């Protein structure tokens, strides 16, 4: 592998990795508070991309297809899809909270199908172009051209994740979120309104996924109703690798997975069609040898 290729794949890996990380974060947070693998999370990401595209097309009439439009699309989509996450939790998951674990898992599959099916029906399954005009200016390192857009995307993802980490570790509601994930009953005795904390978790997790969706849509220039499926699986993989339930773990897992995919698919005799093999191979290896992930802690029941 030449140095140019190493640098090029580092850039590619970091970009796709930060999308994975943004989505893995919501996966992980929701799993933390209600121990649910939210299968609809990938579809939330897809919804975010579509809402972002709609907003982008509207505001584009006045502000053009540049950064201002993307930022508007990002903010509106995060807000709207965050609320969508809250609605899904309220009407699909909350009534199932005391039901057996399998029932709520099936409910999550159902929620995923509803979102996916609705998007298919509304879009007719077509690909929609997300035509941005962000320019190709950037810096050259060796023979590799890195655009400012790529840098901004990675920086924005890191900023969102750092904000989330600060929220969870510093604020009272962030501490409440961690408390609920450790012991829901004891949290209520602290005066924590558990329902509200769970709703907040869904809002933040869904908003992050929507942010990832808008950024990915704008970066790749296309959105599609099925884009959330494989993304959801990969975000789940990232969450497992990092240690599900852990906020820094989700970020680390996402970035590592992105790099693994980028470098793995550029190995000699291995084409990019092999990248999913690396991803899900890693998932299997972690599930077998280190199911708690890199930063996850094994759960020890204390009496």
When binding is defined by CB under 8 A, the residue of 90, 94, 97, 178 that contacts other proteins is: 178
When binding is defined by CB under 8 A, the residue of 183, 272, 280, 287 that contacts other proteins is: 183
Q: Closer to other proteins by CB, 84 or 194: give it.
A: 194
* Cα distances (angstroms) measured from residue 33 to each of 17, 29, 132, 203: 24, 6, 37, 13
In whole angstroms, what is the distance from residue 244 CA to residue 24 CA?
Answer: 9
When binding is defined by CB under 8 A, the residue of 155, 193, 230, 291 that contacts other proteins is: 193
Rule CB under 8 A: is residue 101 a binding residue for other proteins?
no
In whole angstroms, what is the distance from residue 147 CA to residue 294 CA?
Answer: 32
Rule CB under 8 A: is residue 4 a binding residue for other proteins?
no
Minimum CB separation from other proteins for residue 246, in Å? 10
The answer to whether the beta carbons of residues 238 and 251 sit under 8 Å apart is: no
CB atoms within 10 A of CB 27: 31
Q: Closer to other proteins by CB, 18 or 201: give it.
A: 201
In whole angstroms, what is the distance from residue 4 CA to residue 295 CA?
Answer: 32
Size of residue set near other proteins by CB under 8 A: 20
Minimum CB separation from other proteins for residue 119, in Å? 37
Q: Closer to other proteins by CB, 157 or 246: give it.
A: 246
Three-state DSSP state, 292: coil
Rule CB under 8 A: is residue 97 a binding residue for other proteins?
no
Q: Closer to other proteins by CB, 121 or 190: give it.
A: 190
Rule CB under 8 A: is residue 189 a binding residue for other proteins?
yes
* Cα distances (angstroms) measured from residue 35 to each of 16, 104, 110, 138, 181: 26, 10, 17, 43, 8
Helix (H) or strand (E) holding 164: helix 148-170
Query: Residues 269-298 vs other proteins: string with x where CB under 8 A?
Result: ----------------------------x-
Rule CB under 8 A: is residue 175 a binding residue for other proteins?
yes
Distance between first and last Cα of the chain: 54
Minimum CB separation from other proteins for residue 302, in Å? 7
Rule CB under 8 A: is residue 100 a binding residue for other proteins?
no
Minimum CB separation from other proteins for residue 289, in Å? 23
Q: Residue 274 gets which letter from DSSP?
A: G
Rule CB under 8 A: is residue 145 a binding residue for other proteins?
no
Rule CB under 8 A: is residue 191 a binding residue for other proteins?
yes
Rule CB under 8 A: is residue 99 a binding residue for other proteins?
no
Q: Closer to other proteins by CB, 100 or 268: give it.
A: 100
Q: Which long-range contacts does 148-153 make (Cβ < 8 Å, 24+ apart)? A: 149/219, 150/11, 150/15, 150/219, 153/15, 153/18, 153/215, 153/219
Rule CB under 8 A: is residue 35 a binding residue for other proteins?
no
Minimum CB separation from other proteins for residue 27, in Å? 19
In whole angstroms, what is the distance from residue 46 CA to residue 257 CA?
Answer: 20
In whole angstroms, what is the distance from residue 162 CA to residue 248 CA?
Answer: 9
Q: What is the contact surface with other proteins in residues (CB under 8 A)?
A: 172, 175-176, 178-179, 182-183, 185-194, 297, 302-303
């Amino acid at each position: 592998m030449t140095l140019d290729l190493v640098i090029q794949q580092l850039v590619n890996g970091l970009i796709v990795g930060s999308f994975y990380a943004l989505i893995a974060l919501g996966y992980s947070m929701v799993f933390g508070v209600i121990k649910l693998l939210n299968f609809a999370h990938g579809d939330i990401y897809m919804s975010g991309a579509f809402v972002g595209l709609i907003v982008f097309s509207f505001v584009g009439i006045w502000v053009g297809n540049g950064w201002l439009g993307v930022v508007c699309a990002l903010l509106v989509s995060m807000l709207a899809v965050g609320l969508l996450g809250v609605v899904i939790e309220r009407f699909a998951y909350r009534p199932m909270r005391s039901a057996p674990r399998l029932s709520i898992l099936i409910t999550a599959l159902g929620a995923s199908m509803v979102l996916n099916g609705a998007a298919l029906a509304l879009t007719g399954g077509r690909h929609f172009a997300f035509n941005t005009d962000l320019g190709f200016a950037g810096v050259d390192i060796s023979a590799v051209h890195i655009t400012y857009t790529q840098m901004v995307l990675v920086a924005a993802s890191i900023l969102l994740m750092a904000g989330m980490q600060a929220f969870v570790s510093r604020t009272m509601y962030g501490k409440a979120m961690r408390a609920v994930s450790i012991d829901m009953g004891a949290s209520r005795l602290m005066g924590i309104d558990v329902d509200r904390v769970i709703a907040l978790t869904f809002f933040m997790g869904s908003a992050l996924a929507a942010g990832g969706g808008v950024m990915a849509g704008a970066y790749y220039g296309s959105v599609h109703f099925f884009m959330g499926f494989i993304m959801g699986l990969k975000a789940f993989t990232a969450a497992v690798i990092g240690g599900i339930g852990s906020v820094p773990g989700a970020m680390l897992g996402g970035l590592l997975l992105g790099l693994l995919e980028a470098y793995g698919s550029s190995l000699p005799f291995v084409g990019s069609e092999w990248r999913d093999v690396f991803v899900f191979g890693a998932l299997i290896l972690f599930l077998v040898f280190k199911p708690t992930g890199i930063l996850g802690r094994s759960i020890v029941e204390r009496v």
